[in-house]
Amino acid sequence: MTDPDWWRGAVIYQVYPRSYQDSDGDGVGDLNGITARLPHIASLGVDAVWISPFFKSPMADMGYDVSDYRDVDPLFGTLADFDRLIGVAHGLGLKIVIDQVLSHTSDQHEWFGESRTSRTNARADWYVWAEAKPDGTAPNNWLSVFGGPAWEWDGVRMQYYMHSFLTSQPDINLHNPAVQDEMLDTIRFWLDRGVDGFRLDACNHYFHDLALRDNPPARARGDKASVQESNPYGFQDHDYDKSQPENLLFLARLRALLSDYPGAIALGEVGDEDRSPATVQAYTAGDDLLHSSYTFDLFGSAFDPAHFRTIFAAFGEAAERGAVCWSISNHDVMRYVSRWTKAGDDPAAIARLAINLLVSLKGPICLYQGEELGLPEADIAYEDLRDPYGIRFWPAFKGRDGCRTPIPWESEAPYAGFSTARPWLPVPDAHRPLALDQQEHDPASVLATYRAAIAERKAHPALATGGLTFLESGDADILAFLRDGGGESLLCLFNFAREARTWEGETSTFDLPPLGYARIVLE
């Protein structure tokens, strides 16, 4: 039987398949490439691998526009390749978590093809359709995350359909019980193939307000990577186009399905602007909803003790239960080394401080591929962009391709060992010195720091699942807290200043180097 609590304090490593390893020479990463690199992932000491979408797709949004939930896109391989990946991963002690995109499909999905043909067909109500206003304009003021109205006119049905993202990504109507049943069946399909859980993409986008009420103007916009000032999406409070109360009932159905597969987990992605802590709290309350959830709250540019304490406090009881999955990078945001490095900083020092802080937090944590090498954001020329979000808002916002470039495995090899052909995105020259072969045997490398930090988390259960109590530091640049559990207490200290500082406790003092950290086992 699989331990149902394996996720508590787990370290989860995200793989973006297009950019991990190409095994067949077409310039795009694939499932067999991931399988070949699983020993590297296992060497980090992580518990699970989260794989971004590899389902059949026209790739308008790089796989987040699914056209068949039960098949692998030929770009990435076959179902047999996936089954082999599962077997190798499990043999290495790694669990496999896959992305599940339930809020929308591709407009090339057969369901949408049928739905748009008439208002009376068997799948007419499988998507969110609405009448135009008398003047022909969209039903309300809802906006797409990728810019512009969240409504697109269809001349066959003579109605608008809702799309929270690209126009080619129509929103599923999960108010329809038949749609819920079908989506849950797609989850069962992958559970039966041996997956250990799901990362639920945009899981607070599953339901919309049936009355189609207008969203109000935003009351405030904070420092969130998900809100680009070049994009009017952040100008609204999204009261009615997402995070609806019906979501809780569907998540309960999903959790009940997972209970048939011991150890299978649901990890939600919540993008809810300033209300994300409250949404996470609601979605993880009790034992019948999400196991854990992460947000974009640590994906901004703020990197100081006050910001971290504020975020932790905002999650309240959810954080105390260990239901918050902490993450500082993923495939949608600028790499943290570039976000947090100031002029004159050593990026490697930022990376070392960041991973040691991350492993000291309560609850599961997610790492994004390339973090362990300290990769900075790549500067992608406009003509090389593939991300529709970046193409739409260039040059004010350059999109997400800068964090999606291929992993550099060998510094001197063609395309840094990622492929034998020109990759789908360029390999930056600045990444070559950080390649795996340059760090693999260097005890002072970022890679060595990642491995050591993860090993220390495993050696001290208090770091993964123990309690967390903040301490007064007496210094605005020092973050201090205690981790208690498993019969031990650890004092965790982090100096965000660019010069040495001293932390003074009630009975002892500790000197911290610039951007330094310390974990002390207390007697």
Listed in order, strand segments (DSSP E) in 192-333 are: 197-200, 265-270, 292-295, 326-327
The tokens describing 239, both together, are 């009261």
269 in active site: yes
Catalytic residue among 201, 241, 273, 332: 201
- Classify 415 in phi/psi space as left (phi over 0), alpha (psi -120 to 50) or beta: left
**Active-site residue, from 61, 154, 269, 272:** 269
3-state class percentages of the chain: helix first, strand second, coil last, to nearest 5: 30, 20, 50
Longest dimension (CA), the chain: 75
Among all chains, which residue has been given the structure tokens 């991990």?
A: 20
Buried b (16+ CB within 10 A) or exposed e, 59-88: bbbbbbbbbbbebbbebbbeeebbeebbeb
CA distances to 279, 393, 396 from 228, rounded to whole Å, are 21, 10, 9
**Token pair 């982090």 in the structure block, residue:** 494
Residue 284 vs residues 250, 271, 411, 424: alpha-carbon distances, Å: 13, 15, 43, 38
Phi, psi for 259 (deg, rounded to 5): -65, -20
How many whole angstroms separate alpha carbon 160 and alpha carbon 416?
46
Q: Identify the residue whose tokens are 């739905």.
A: 115
| CA 135 to the chain's CA centroid | 40
Helix (H) or strand (E) run with residue 337 in it: helix 336-340
The strand pair at 55-56 and 265-270 is best described as unpaired
Our answer to whether residue 499 is catalytic in this structure is no
Look up residue 467 and give its two tokens. 């309690």
Report the 10 Å Cβ neighbour count for 49: 24
End-to-end Cα spacing for the chain: 36
DSSP bridge partners of 95: 48
The set of catalytic residues is 201, 269
